[in-house]
Amino acid sequence: QQIQEDLNKQLLDNLLSFLSRSHSDFQEKTTKWTCRMKFREIPTAALVLGVNVTDHNLTFRGLSDVLQDNITPYVALLEAKDCPGIKNLMQKLMGQLMNCDIEVDSLEDEDCVQVSQNRIRCSMPSLVSWYESVTKKTDSETPSKKRNSSSRHWQSPPVVVIFKDMESFTTKVLQDFIVISSQHIHELPLVLIFGIATSPMIIHRLLPHSVSSLLCIELFQSLSCKEHLSTIIDKLLLTSRFPFKLGGKVLQVLINIFLYHDFSVQNFIKGFQLCIMEHFYSQPLSVLCCHLADIKKRVYSLSNDQCENIRRLPSFRRYVEKQESGKQVELLTNDSFLKEETEKLLEDLHVYHENYVSILRCLHVFTSSLPKYPLGKQIRELHCACLENQVWETEEYESSLQLARMLNKADLVTMLQQCVEILMSSSGKEFNKTVEKLKEFLTQFQNLEAEASQERDVSVSSQKELQKKTDLYHLQKTLLELKESRRSKKLTKFEMLRFEVVDYIDRLVRKYLVPADKRTLHEIVYFNAATVLRGHLNAAPRTALHTALNNPHWYLKNQALKCDGGGISNKAPDICIVYKLHLECGRLINLVDWLEAFSTVVMAAEEPNADAASSDEVDDIIHARFIRAVSELELLGFIKPSKQKTDHVARLTWGGC
Amino acid sequence: MPNLEHPAYPADDLLHLESLVPCRESQVSMLLSIFGERQQFSFPSIFIYGHTSSGKTYVMQTLLTTLQLPHVFVNCVEHFTSRLLLEEILIQLQNCSGTEQTSPVHCDTLNDFVRLFKQALASQELQDQTLYIVLDRAEQLREMEANILPAFLRLQELTDRNVTVVLLSEIVWELFRPNVGCFEPFTMYFPDYSIGHLQKILSQNHPPEYSADFYAAYINILLGVFYMVCRDLKELRHLAALNFAKYCEPVVRGEANERDTRKLWKNIEPHLKKAMQTVYLREISSSQWERLQQDGGEPGQLKGLSAHTHVELPYYSKFLLIAAYLASYNPVRTDKRFFLKHHGKIRKTNFMKKHEKTSNHLLGPKPFPLDRLLAILYSIVDNRVAPTANIFSQITSLVTLQLLSMVGQHDQLDGPRYKCTVSLDFIRTIAR
């Protein structure tokens, strides 16, 4: 689906915009190259990226692409797992550098370079000589050819080495590499980039002072992943551009995984993509989940079955019940009428989304600055709350309105201005009136200011009057009056206006922020199967294994296996029986007892009236089955042979202690 | 101070040499007397050691180049395998002989090396002169094959040529000596530079625009600030170059002349102290420092490296880390008391906890099994946690971040054991 591609592109754009920022600084540094020479320091950028390691790959790929486009063709990405020793590191580095060289001038001596690569000596001097030859070559090339490369790159482009995961490198490798490269810094303009996941202190911990003094480190901090998430949510969910929407519970699940578990934006995106897939796969009416322009065409191509599907939707049934009886019949029997109605409803839904987003933003402007954030600091929390249920019925909403009624004037005015901007920028047609109303509020506030200044004049004059009077009683009386009038008059006007504003906002919220599942046909665009998603994303290997062994019916769907309660059925696979028996044991399990129990369970149903001789001696087949089941359990990691007692096995799972 | 004199070398060369190696005259004259005349056989191997930047490499290099002795200079860190090292020596040998044969050298073993070495020497007019092979950072030799170091020590004997191997290192010879016994090299110690030496050396390369006295005064101030913490010549030179522009500022502006030392001192001293806190520790890089000087801004705006200590972690990762910390620093037998709801003797527990904590912190983290970590995690997190794959993957990602470390073999699947590697302060900030 093209939506997914859009999505990825957006993410990349996001990243690149961030990178270009860090990158501009970076360029600055390379210009200062010459002055750094005498100090023998290697310019180094320390990129602090946060703990979401899974996202880093993408970031680094983006970074190296940008570098290759703008600064230098020589970029090498190194990962700790490839470089256990300095030798491997050099090999990897050389390989990458030479390869990207081949890409640049693939025309001429491709084969000669490749031949020499096989028997090249992986050391710094050979790297230096290679670099010299390469730069010389670009110099000696004909200008027409050179234009292409030198317009993008410099005369002597720096060699950029990126260490993806600084933490995992062994100290010795890094130290050696830095010492070596500092020896050759005159011949080889090298720039290092460290990707750091935790904190920059790691540099000091990994490198002793004698080595870190060879570096000229500058720190670049990337956006925190939480901010990253909110921008993505902002761009993906809170727009009317993508017809697909997430239901409140689903979004909550995704956000919880993000916050509680991995901080990985990429996983969030993947979860989102999974939601899209699941939605289009499971919901037959999801064909209608498309852009507004296509709706008409698609609605008219609906088949009879699909119309029936629409009629079966709970939200649509609710809608039908509200209509008068004639229309009800029409809706339930006439397909073409139903199609028209559906189209209208979908358009309504679309308009609702547009309005929803802008009003949500307005409300966020108000609530995000309140003390203690009753409705959450981030817009995503507000979004979740609004999707979940009618937001104006919640306690938090009440308290936030209370707080909003106590805002001071300056804040209120700026908020109103922000709201006006948001509403102006949104495409909804219904907002003209709202904007006007808000503007009216603003002018009223300005008027208030003017009035206030007038009033101040009045009070000044009354004070003058006051000075004339010397009578104590009069003085007291006028003072009291003055106080009262000041308080009641000046504040009431402002307060009244404030109440009015808050009420107006409240009305807007009630009108536009209706939760989506109250809308008709919301099933088409909203994905609400949170439990399914949770099952997909929160893998629980232990639980799954336990249910498989404890209750084989769950996976095998065999009626015979359906057992009730704690009894051990003998029809279950051997391994299940063994597992259940082992659950009853302590840390050390006696194999003989186990076998006895196993054989009794197996024999129980088979031949209850078997003769005593055969039940005394355990059957060979049963013995073999038992041994196989036990070794399967060992393979799964539930037990292991113990050295304390020879005929016992140790239990490794819970409950052993 | 003994003047350098040696019958074999021209006097003006020696004089030049002396000017190049200040404060190392005695060592140089010693070396010269060991080397003897060009054609004389010298000591087979010489071991020179001394602290960081006490001029070992520099002295050797200037000595050999000014007197134009045939030599090969190799850094052992750079050539990290024996093959690279030997090949590099041979390549340099070819170059210094001037014979333009660029055939790639292949030399895998020491035996090959001796053979090729003899060939290389035979093809040149070097037979009548002593060849010097200088191995810088020789401590790396110990990590190569066992036969490399002894072989280099008696290379003269093995090749039967006039060659001397000079080993430069920062550690003493006793740490080198292999078990099996070997040829004992002539050891020589380069002592640290004293403050007077540093003063003399640093003031030697003054910028041409200013007089030597002016620069010497500056160096004097600089040493006064930094000598307490840093005696590394390279580092001091770096700092001197960085801060000199600031020192000159009043002179450039015309507020003070070059003799006005007191005024200049007042101007520079706080600045240098700031530099000591930031640049010297590499909290901020030197280029940032320079930019700062040009802007004249306060360094408070620039946050150093250690200012960004805050680490953002996901919710459960925090709890995992805390649980790991508890598991590492609390003994197993206290688990029941700390993490079970119903335990008696609270007062005693408190006392015990305090007592144990101090001693445990001195002992460092102890390894703990995975199950214990999870058990503690379940008891410190309020709501129920499902043991999902996410939790397990978080443990491994904590390991890659080096906040936890795995103990024992890495491919041991049953019962992996971990260790918590973060400090109490870190845990405190997380636990907040």
Secondary structure string (H, E, C) spanning A55-93: HHHHHHHHHHHHHHHHCCCCEEEECHHHCCCHHHHHHHH
- In which order are the strands placed within the sheet that holds B404-407? B368-369, B417-420, B404-407
* CA angle in degrees (0–180, nearest 5) for B246-B250-B255: 175
What's the rounded Cα separation, in Å, for the pair B200 and B233? 11
What's the rounded Cα separation, in Å, for the pair B242 and B246? 8
pLDDT tier at A349, thresholds 50, 70, 90? confident
Which residues in chain B have their CB less than 8 angstroms from residue A201's CB? 305-306, 309
CA dihedral angle for residue A126, residue A128, residue A130, residue A133, rounded to 10 degrees: -140
Q: Which of A65-74, A143-152, A461-470 has the lowest mean pLDDT?
A: A143-152
List the end-to-end C-alpha distance of chain A, in Å, as a whole number: 52
Cβ contact, residue pair A48, B308, below 8 Å:
yes
C-beta neighbour count of A81 within 10 angstroms: 11
pLDDT tier at B36, thresholds 50, 70, 90? confident
Cβ contact, residue pair A198, B314, below 8 Å:
no
Residue A435 · residue A417 · CB < 8 Å: no
What's the rounded Cα separation, in Å, for the pair B48 and B371? 54
pLDDT tier at B241, thresholds 50, 70, 90? confident
Which residues in chain B have their CB less than 8 angstroms from residue A226's CB? 312
Residue B387 · residue A542 · CB < 8 Å: yes
Domains of chain B, CATH where assigned? 11-189 (3.40.50.300), 203-307 (no CATH), 315-340+361-431 (1.10.10)
Question: Could you tell me which of A251, A333, A339, A349 has the C-alpha nearest to residue A297?
Answer: A339
Amino acid of residue B110: L
Residue B157 vs residue A37, higher pLDDT = B157
pLDDT of residue B1: 39
How confident is the model over A521-537, as pLDDT tens digits? 676 767 777 777 777 77
- Tokens 């919220």 belong to A509
Interface test with A, best of B285, B333, B339 (most A CBs within 10 A): B285
Cβ contact, residue pair A261, B391, below 8 Å:
yes
Q: Supply the ipTM of this predicted assembly.
A: 0.73
Interface test with A, best of B94, B287, B335 (most A CBs within 10 A): B287
Interface test with A, best of B103, B108, B294, B312 (most A CBs within 10 A): B312
Domain co-membership, A219 together with A297 = no
Cβ contact, residue pair B308, A226, below 8 Å:
no
Cβ contact, residue pair A226, B312, below 8 Å:
yes
Work out the minimum CA distance from A343 to partner chain B, whole angstroms: 43
pLDDT tier at B58, thresholds 50, 70, 90? confident
Residue A235 vs residue A34, higher pLDDT = A235
Residue A55 lies in a domain: yes
pLDDT of residue A110: 40
Residue A2 CB-density burial (10 A; 0-12 exposed, 13-18 middle, 19+ buried): exposed
List the end-to-end C-alpha distance of chain B, in Å, as a whole number: 65
Q: Is the pLDDT of residue A353 over 70?
A: yes
Domain co-membership, A506 together with A439 = yes
A51 has a chain B CB within 8 A of its CB: yes
Domain co-membership, A445 together with A333 = yes
Interface test with A, best of B76, B280, B286, B316 (most A CBs within 10 A): B286
Which residues in chain A have their CB less than 8 angstroms from residue B388's CB? 538-540
A542 has a chain B CB within 8 A of its CB: yes
Domain co-membership, A516 together with A562 = no
Question: Could you tell me which of B425, B410, B320 has the C-alpha nearest to residue A51?
Answer: B320
How confident is the model over B263-293, as pLDDT tens digits? 767 777 777 777 666 655 555 555 556 555 5
Prediction pTM value: 0.66
A643 has a chain B CB within 8 A of its CB: no
- Tokens 């020896």 belong to A183
Q: Cα–chain-centroid distance for residue A178?
A: 36
Residue B350 vs residue A542, higher pLDDT = A542
Residue B149 · residue B89 · CB < 8 Å: no
Interface test with B, best of A30, A34, A42, A51 (most B CBs within 10 A): A51
Domain co-membership, A215 together with A301 = no
A612 has a chain B CB within 8 A of its CB: no
pLDDT tier at B252, thresholds 50, 70, 90? confident
Residue A232 lies in a domain: no
Q: CATH number for the domain including A183?
A: 3.40.50.300
Residue A44's closest chain B neighbor by CA? B285
What's the rounded Cα separation, in Å, for the pair A533 and A281? 13
pLDDT tier at B134, thresholds 50, 70, 90? confident
Which residues in chain B have their CB less than 8 angstroms from residue A218's CB? 285, 287-288
pLDDT tier at B342, thresholds 50, 70, 90? low
| Residues above pLDDT 90, as percent of chain A | 0
What's the rounded Cα separation, in Å, for the pair A594 and A633? 13
Structure tokens at A107: 């025309």
A281 has a chain B CB within 8 A of its CB: no
C-beta neighbour count of B419 within 10 angstroms: 18
Strand, helix or coil for residue A43: strand
Average pLDDT over residues B169-188: 78
pLDDT of residue B384: 65
Average pLDDT over residues B303-307: 50
Into how many domains does chain A fold? Answer: 3
Q: Is the pLDDT of residue A376 over 60?
A: yes
Which residues in chain B have their CB less than 8 angstroms from residue A258's CB? 314
Nearest to B314 among A38, A123, A262 (CB): A262
How many alpha carbons lie under 13 Å from residue A103 in its C-beta half-sphere? Answer: 12
Residue B175 · residue B34 · CB < 8 Å: no
Residue A32's closest chain B neighbor by CA? B287
Structure tokens at B297: 């801004």
A171 has a chain B CB within 8 A of its CB: no
Average pLDDT over residues B329-352: 59
- In Å, how far are A363, A412, A438, A480, B62 from A494, measured between CA atoms? 21, 11, 15, 21, 85
A199 has a chain B CB within 8 A of its CB: yes
pLDDT tier at A499, thresholds 50, 70, 90? confident
Q: Which of A182, A204, A223 is the last residue of a domain?
A: A223
| Residues above pLDDT 70, as percent of chain B | 71
Residue A501 lies in a domain: yes
Which residues in chain A have their CB less than 8 angstroms from residue B415's CB? 652
Structure tokens at A475: 């003085």
Contacts of residue A265, Cβ cutoff 8 Å, sequence gap at least 6: A11, A52, A55, A225, A228, A229, A232, A258
Element housing A469 (H / E): none
A257 has a chain B CB within 8 A of its CB: yes
β strands within A117-271, DSSP E: 159-163, 190-196, 215-221, 245-246
Q: Which of A198, A223, A248 is the last residue of a domain?
A: A223
Strand, helix or coil for residue A98: helix
Work out the minimum CA distance from A209 to partner chain B, whole angstroms: 8
Nearest to A165 among B81, B400, B413 (CB): B400
Domain co-membership, A189 together with A297 = no
Residue A326 lies in a domain: yes
> Using a CB cutoff of 8 Å and minimum separation of 24, what contacts does A551-554 make?
A552/A576
Residue A620 lies in a domain: yes
Average pLDDT over residues B348-369: 60
How many alpha carbons lie under 13 Å from residue B247 in its C-beta half-sphere? Answer: 26
Contacts of residue A366, Cβ cutoff 8 Å, sequence gap at least 6: A400, A404, A415, A419, A505
Domain co-membership, A1 together with A91 = yes
Nearest to A180 among B77, B238, B311 (CB): B77
How confident is the model over A275-306, as pLDDT tens digits? 777 777 777 766 666 666 677 777 777 777 77
Work out the minimum CA distance from B3 to partner chain A, whole angstroms: 32
Cβ contact, residue pair B88, A123, below 8 Å:
yes
Q: CATH number for the domain including A591?
A: 1.10.10
How confident is the model over B16-31, as pLDDT tens digits? 777 777 777 788 888 8
Residue B64 · residue B71 · CB < 8 Å: yes
pLDDT tier at A41, thresholds 50, 70, 90? low
Element housing A207 (H / E): none
How confident is the model over A129-156, as pLDDT tens digits? 777 776 665 544 433 333 333 333 445 5
pLDDT of residue A237: 65
A226 has a chain B CB within 8 A of its CB: yes
- Tokens 């970590």 belong to B373
Which residues in chain B have their CB less than 8 angstroms from residue A225's CB? 312
pLDDT of residue B225: 76
* CA angle in degrees (0–180, nearest 5) for B390-B391-B395: 115
Domain co-membership, A206 together with A316 = no
What's the rounded Cα separation, in Å, for the pair A375 and A363? 10
Work out the minimum CA distance from B128 to partner chain A, whole angstroms: 30
Which residues in chain B have their CB less than 8 angstroms from residue A637's CB? 413-414
Domain co-membership, A210 together with A298 = no
Nearest to B402 among A167, A209, A224 (CB): A167
A32-36, A231-235, A496-500, B317-321 — most confident range: B317-321
Domain co-membership, A373 together with A517 = yes
Which residues in chain A have their CB less than 8 angstroms from residue B313's CB? 51, 263
Residue A23 phi/psi, 5-degree rounding, is -75, -35
pLDDT of residue A134: 67
Cβ contact, residue pair A219, B400, below 8 Å:
no
Domain co-membership, A514 together with A546 = no
Question: Could you tell me which of B382, B385, B379 has the C-alpha nearest to residue B334?
Answer: B379
**How would you classify the pairing of strands B417-420 and B368-369?**
antiparallel
Domain co-membership, A513 together with A553 = no
Q: Give the residues across from A220 on adjacent strands.
A: A47
Residue A261 lies in a domain: no
What's the rounded Cα separation, in Å, for the pair A108 and A114? 12
A26-40, A382-396, A436-450, A497-511 — most confident range: A497-511
Residue A650's closest chain B neighbor by CA? B414
What's chain A's average pLDDT?
67
Interface test with A, best of B308, B309, B406 (most A CBs within 10 A): B308
Residue A408 phi/psi, 5-degree rounding, is -85, 170
Strand, helix or coil for residue B432: coil
| Residues above pLDDT 70, as percent of chain A | 44
Residue A135 lies in a domain: no
pLDDT tier at A38, thresholds 50, 70, 90? very low
Work out the minimum CA distance from A444 to partner chain B, whole angstroms: 42
Residue numbers of the domain that contains A545: 541-607+615-651
What's the rounded Cα separation, in Å, for the pair B199 and B218? 10
